Amino acid sequence: MMMSPARKEPDTMTYSGRFAIRLRELREKAGLTVPELAERIGVPAQTIYHWEIGKPTFRLDLIPALAEIYGIEPRELLPEK
């Protein structure tokens, strides 16, 4: 049986890392898988994965759509400094 690669964890010492963690927490709290969220906002699942490990590929134009899916205000997507 082939094991899937370990998920890379974001660097919690950086703002982008904390943002990545916040995005994953909100997705999981909403009960969505990566593919489900990707389909709902119209991006490839790989894009969501990159966001959640802190790769600098996040599209700011998607913040309103994510906030609506999660039932929060857009500013609530941002982690505390």
Joined together, the tokens standing for residue 50 give 């990159």
Question: Quick one: pLDDT at residue 40?
Answer: 95
Torsional sign, CA 54, 41, 37, 66: positive
- Tens of pLDDT along 5-59? 556 777 777 888 888 999 999 999 999 999 999 999 999 999 999 999 988 777 8
Whole-number Å distance between alpha carbons of 18 and 2 = 31
pLDDT surpassing 90 at residue 71? yes
Whole-number Å distance between alpha carbons of 64 and 4 = 32
H helices present in 1-81, as ranges = 15-29, 34-41, 45-53, 63-70
0.95 exceeded by the pTM?
Answer: no
- Tens of pLDDT along 11-24? 777 888 888 999 99
Percentage, residues of the chain above pLDDT 70: 90
